[in-house]
Amino acid sequence: MPVRLIAVDMDGTFLNGEKQYNTQRFLKQFSALQQKGIHFVAASGNQLYTLKNYFSDIQDHIGYVAENGAFVVDGLTEVNFSHFDSQVAKVMLADLMADYAEGIILCGKEGAYVDEQTPAENMPKLHKYFKRLFCVEDLLQVDDLVCKITINTSNYDFDVLTNALNQKSYIKNNQVKMVSSGFGFIDLIVPSQHKAFGLSFLQQRWQVSADETLVIGDNNNDIEMVKMAKFGLAMDNAIPELKQVADYVVGHNEREAVLDVLDAVLHSESDTQLAEKLACLN
């Protein structure tokens, strides 16, 4: 079956280290994808507002799987928004605030929120990843549907932090799943509501099967999505765990590897031909 849906992770995959991509090249490719009836999806741990900022010229014409699968949008249409039970979110947040108040980002439908205790030196990094970010007096009083709690690891030892989080009762009893999205962030999400879960809503909406899907990622939060698709790709700069489950390992995010993959899709007349091209991209 021909590829009819391409989903790409953003940081470390579609974007280079400067959080940019070759806009001119991609927009030409996107036009060609549209002509062939191939859907393009940005699938990321980032918030929806950040993702749209990267695609200002076409933001109303692509799909989004934001917040690690929680917020799914087709152009201007909200398709699904998954969130924690409000009581679970409050208990978890109150517990985390006791030890990690300066590192917590509360992610909701209307935006992301940080506490006034957040160090000023951390804010440039946060504004880079959260384009709609509010600083509030008390995170526990935020009136929003919470889809994710992110911890900025900048002020903590990563291994000590992850070990401590793994001992939390709500993680041990599977009320919450912990994933690393890279770049110094740990995400606490609703179990089973990962990127593959979010992408399934768009597959159903567009009547696209897994056999017609190609996905590309680089990190822990891409594993389910890569395993689900017929063409599951890992970047050369991806973590070993993702490379192990990927069908193909392609080039580096600093060398426009995703755009090379798009060219391979656009210039292949069969799955066999595409497979041959993908095998040559690393």
Query: What is the per-residue DSSP string for 114-145?
Result: EETTS-GGGHHHHHHH-SSEEEES-GGG--S-
Contact between 155 and 122 (Cβ < 8 Å) = yes
Q: Cα dist. 229→153, 173, 189, 215, 246 in Å?
A: 31, 29, 22, 6, 9
**Amino acid at site 88:** V
Name which of 195, 255, 189 is nearest 219 in CA terms: 195
Contact between 48 and 71 (Cβ < 8 Å) = yes
Contact between 68 and 195 (Cβ < 8 Å) = yes
9 is catalytic: yes
> Active site residue: 9, 11, 74, 115, which one?
9
Active site residues: 9
